[in-house]
């Protein structure tokens, strides 16, 4: 079976953007690959080093989110980055082969550095550490968002450099599996959904919170009276209905009626709340049930991490031999 690696930084709760952009895909892929899902707490600390308690708090939350959306510990290995110290050793080895000037121009990193206004060394070198994750796991496929593509290119470059430098065929070329769903927009309708932009609907949101967020959505400034014709274009409620409403026929009828006039924004929002609750409600319920069992979540993480450790150790042993670090 081919090996799949992907993961998330535990720095906040997962939201609808994660669900449609990556989680649903992972649930399918766990049937087809030997899957490792990395809870990247060490990476999360590179930009959250001033609040380790926040990272800690989100580790089990993330595991709960994973299980609630259908990742199955019998089918995939959910593992903890900080419990895999071999990855740090591998980062160091790959750092030898990393050109600093080139790294600084990595588009993923450049964007994040500008956004976060930080310049600590561990953050600047996180793409190298992510390459180490990928190569350490001997991954064949790495499903990530399109914004991470430059990191995968760096990974392939480092693998090739290593193999050429030491005249071995040890590190594997990976295929990126970029998510096909375009980035889900936030409830503000403008930029991509993200916790830091304060425009996210979280998988743990209560019905009340969902209602509040939907009610605040931008609709149509020309639709003043209910009888006025409404516009679909730019209407955030319809943007979400298009993505999440499974009753396509009913939705088409609603659109026609709305454009004619006579349908209130309250009614379209009510429909959206129903549709979102149908999606999130079961996830929330399962999440609450398992989040109340931290021992179970820890056991899942432990089991996945043990499997991951075996995987990573065999790779690092080979590398130590090549670099004479095995005396
Ligand atoms: N950078 C990823 C994120 O921000 C998390 C991550 C860490 C990752 N290591 C990885 C993803 C290895 C894929 C493969 O969500």
Is 120 exposed, middle or buried, given 0-12, 13-18 or 19+ CB atoms closer than 10 A? exposed
pLDDT tens-place values along the chain, 327 residues long: 999 999 999 999 999 999 998 999 999 999 999 999 999 999 999 999 999 999 999 999 999 999 999 999 999 999 999 999 999 999 999 999 999 999 999 999 998 999 888 999 999 999 999 999 999 999 999 998 878 899 999 999 999 999 999 999 999 999 877 776 668 999 999 888 988 889 999 999 999 999 999 999 999 999 999 999 999 999 999 999 999 999 999 999 999 999 999 999 999 999 999 999 999 999 999 999 999 999 999 999 999 999 999 999 999 999 999 999 988
State whether the Cα torsion 228-256-20-288 is positive or negative.
Answer: positive
Mutation test residue for ligand 1: of 8, 21, 178, the one with most atoms within 8 Å of CB:
8
The closest of 326, 197, 218 to 272, measured between CA atoms, is 218
5 lines ligand 1 (CB under 6 A): yes
Please measure the distance between the N-terminal and C-terminal CA atoms of the chain and give it in whole angstroms.
Answer: 33
22 lines ligand 1 (CB under 6 A): no
151 lines ligand 1 (CB under 6 A): no
Give the distance (Å) from ligand 1 centre to CA of residue 126.
Answer: 10
The CA distance from 3 to 285, in Å, is 31
48 lines ligand 1 (CB under 6 A): no
Q: Which residues pair with 6 in a beta bridge?
A: 37
Three-state secondary structure call for residue 93: helix
Mutation test residue for ligand 1: of 3, 7, 55, the one with most atoms within 8 Å of CB:
7
Q: Give CA angle at 110 (100, 23), nearest 5°.
A: 115
The closest of 267, 218, 274 to 246, measured between CA atoms, is 274
43 lines ligand 1 (CB under 6 A): yes
Q: Which two tokens stand for residue 296?
A: 């179970």
Q: Which two tokens stand for residue 298?
A: 């820890």
* Closest Cα to atom 9 of ligand 1: 130
Three-state secondary structure call for residue 44: helix
Contact 144, 108 (CB under 8 A): no
Mutation test residue for ligand 1: of 43, 59, 111, 145, the one with most atoms within 8 Å of CB:
43
139 lines ligand 1 (CB under 6 A): no
Q: Which atom of ligand 1 is nearest to the CA of 40?
A: 7
Residue 101: CB atoms within 10 Å: 6
């Amino acid at each position: 079976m081919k090996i799949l690696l992907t993961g998330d930084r535990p720095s906040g709760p997962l939201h609808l953007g994660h669900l449609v952009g990556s989680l649903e895909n992972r649930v399918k892929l766990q049937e087809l690959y030997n899957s490792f899902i990395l809870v990247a707490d060490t990476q999360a600390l590179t930009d959250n080093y001033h609040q380790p308690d926040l990272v800690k708090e989100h580790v089990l939350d993330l595991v709960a989110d994973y299980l609630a959306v259908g990742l199955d510990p019998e089918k995939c290995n959910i593992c903890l980055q900080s419990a895999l110290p071999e990855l740090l050793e591998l980062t160091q080895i790959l750092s030898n082969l990393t050109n600093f000037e080139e790294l600084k121009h990595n588009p993923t990193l450049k964007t994040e550095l500008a956004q976060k206004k930080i310049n600590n060394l561990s953050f600047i070198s996180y793409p190298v550490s992510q390459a180490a994750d990928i190569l350490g796991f001997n991954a064949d496929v790495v499903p990530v968002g399109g914004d991470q593509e430059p990191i995968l290119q760096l990974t392939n470059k480092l693998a090739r450099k290593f193999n050429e430098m030491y005249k071995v065929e040890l590190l594997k070329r990976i295929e990126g599996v970029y998510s096909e769903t375009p980035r889900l927009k936030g409830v503000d309708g403008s930029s991509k959904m993200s916790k830091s932009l304060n425009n996210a609907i979280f998988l743990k949101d209560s019905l009340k919170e969902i209602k509040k967020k939907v009610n605040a959505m931008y609709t149509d400034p020309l639709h003043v009276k209910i009888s006025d014709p409404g516009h679909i274009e730019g209407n955030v409620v319809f943007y979400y209905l298009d993505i999440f409403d499974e009753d396509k026929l009913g939705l088409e009828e609603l659109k026609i009626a709305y454009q004619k006039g006579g349908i209130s924004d309250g009614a379209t929002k009510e429909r959206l709340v129903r549709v979102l609750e149908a999606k999130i409600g079961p996830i929330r319920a399962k999440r609450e049930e398992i989040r109340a069992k931290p021992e179970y979540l820890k056991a899942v993480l432990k089991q996945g991490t043990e499997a991951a450790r075996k995987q990573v150790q065999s790779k690092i042993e080979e590398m130590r031999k090549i670099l004479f670090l095995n005396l």
